[in-house]
Structure 1
Amino acid sequence: MTTTGIVTLRGEAELVRRAGALFDGVRREFLCVAGDLGTWSAAAASGVRRSPAPGLVVRKLYGPGVFVAPGGPELLDRLAAAGAEVRISPAPPAHEAIVVDGRLAVLAAPRSAAGGVRTYSVVQEPGAVAGVRALFETAWETATDLAAYRRRPFPPLGGDDRAVLRSLATGHTDETASRLLGVSLRTYRRRVASLMTALDARSRFQAGLRAREILGDGGLSDV
């Protein structure tokens, strides 16, 4: 399907086949925001597979979930070693996109709940590309540099706090968690609210991701 300045492609294989040369032609700037490590696994490879050429800026923005995704920490290490700038957003990004040299943007459609083929919109209309780039810059400015994110100290936690964190990390409902911990529902929710503040988490999902960072997989086994 094609509209003025926009081409919609079905599946990443078609994206690479029809737009791969556009990625390979990057000269000045390669911007990418991803919530799923697999979203741009092939299409973005040309922008990160090798060390950036002199003058080429490569920026990758991920949500905090990258730290608990299989292979996520290793990917971050490879990107940093290749010279890419990497930042972590406070919450999973609402949209996934690539911007190349300010002349091309690729937008990934939300994944289908039914598991259908994902579509990608290739945009070359200058005004639309500029808008996508501006949104990326806004998200980039509110994100944390990878090295700084990893250095952030976690607040001191007592045994009760860690028990609540384990419940958050495993995704228990409030009712189930409070019953397992032997506290009232009101008390449990008060503790969750307090921990979210301490962890600087804007949502329970983000608090759960932070909990996994603190506890590690081994810290979840007794819940």
Structure 2
Amino acid sequence: MTGPNLEFLEAGGDVERAYRLLLRLGQADADTFALRLGLPAEAAEAHGRRVVELGLAALHDGVLRPVSPGKAVERLVERRLARFQDELEAGVAHSGVVDSLLGERAAAPAADARPGQQGPPVQRLENQADIRAAIDEMTFFTRSENLTAQPDGILTPQSIVHSRPLDMRVLRRGVTMRSLLGPAAVGHPGTMAYLRELSRKGCEIRIARQPIERMIICDRAVALTPIDPRNTGKGALLTREPGLVATLVTLYERMWDAADPLPAAPGDTPSPGARPEGVERQVLETLYTADKDEAGARDLGISVRTYRKHVASLMERLSATNRFQVALLARERGWI
């Protein structure tokens, strides 16, 4: 294709041709799509699946409809950035460069110690910059589990802007992420919108009915709590003391067990026979094209853990015993 194209966003060739055709047509059923592409029905169907998987079009009742060009390019950029970041983080982990740098910092005089450094079992962090630095470092090194509790419940736009890249980085790595918030969250639209965004990416979220304590715990090895729970402006305590961290984990689990699941948005709770939408629909489509869960998750820009959670949900809804049966039963129901 001559002129500006989507090749640099890894969506050129047949995918771009199919998307441009949909933009010209506005929408197309399977027969029209195959006819206008000049392809056999099976090949055209594969093109349609790929366009949907990349977020360039939506399929409803057998009709393909393109998303707006701005949104399409935005999704392609996000997918490529996510893949590039995953590759960089994997390279960092493999290289051991962070451990090497930490070794340099560990040799510094104690007076120059920074937040998060392996050193005293408990550190006092008395200014916001140090607290943010500690959170950034804790989440960067998280590999298995991230637990947070936010008693206020309300997330400000500024805190969401700061938290989003950290949260998404953790979720992309397949880390188990649980977030517990105070009841005020339910009445705050901005907070609920972000919580549902996190939930779609695989974060488990609950809303507390009773008072909870503020904390962040990573890998059950390091925890951050306020110096004074009634006045968070006094700073925070960073602890790696195993006994203290274990006690905080026990407290977190008790608070979690006493909390309620995140309320579904109006119309979000599907009945067993309802047609899948959103990410679940995209996961269903990838079952036809991706040989492995890792490939399907990578194509959708979500973690393998989140991908498998959606597959398990589809299997339950369809009473299927394996992934192949999910695809067959979904086609019989007209879901794809």
Asked if TM exceeds 0.5, the reply is yes
TM-score by length of 2: 0.38
CA distance in 2, matches of 1:60, 1:25: 18
Matched, 1:142 2:235: no
CA distance in 2, matches of 1:88, 1:150: 17
CA distance in 2, matches of 1:121, 1:150: 40
List alignment gaps of at least 5 residues for structure 2: 1-110, 114-118, 268-336
Change (3 A) 1:79 1:18: closer
Q: Which residue of 2 aligns with 1:99?
A: 217
The structure whose residues are more often helix, as a share, is 2
Larger Rg: 2
Q: Which of 234, 237, 240 is matched with 1:121 structurally? A: 237
Residues 22-61 of structure 1 mapped to structure 2, 5 A cutoff = 22-36=138-152, 37-38=154-155, 41=159, 45=164, 47-50=166-169, 52-53=171-172, 55-61=174-180
Please say if residues 62 and 88 of structure 1, whose CA atoms lie closer than 8 Å, have aligned partners that are also in contact. Answer: yes
Q: CA deviation at 1:45?
A: 4.8
Please say if residues 64 and 90 of structure 1, whose CA atoms lie closer than 8 Å, have aligned partners that are also in contact. Answer: yes
CA RMSD, Structure 1 to Structure 2 (Å): 3.3
List alignment gaps of at least 5 residues for structure 1: 152-223
CA distance in 2, matches of 1:6, 1:132: 14
Residues 65-214 of structure 1 mapped to structure 2, 5 A cutoff = 65-69=184-188, 71-93=190-212, 95-108=213-226, 109-112=228-231, 117-147=233-263
| Higher RCO, 1 vs 2 (CA within 8 Å, ≥6 residues apart) | 1
Q: Which of 168, 178, 182 is matched with 1:63 structurally? A: 182
The one-letter amino acid of 2:187's match is: V
Q: CA deviation at 1:17?
A: 2.4
Listed one character per residue, the Cα deviations across residues 29-70 of structure 1 (whole Å, up to 9, x for unaligned) are 000000234599377555523461454100000111112236
Q: CA deviation at 1:21?
A: 1.7
The count of aligned residue pairs is 147
The structure whose residues are more often strand, as a share, is 1
For residue 159 of structure 2, give the secondary structure of its aligned residue in structure 1: coil
Q: CA deviation at 1:150?
A: 8.1
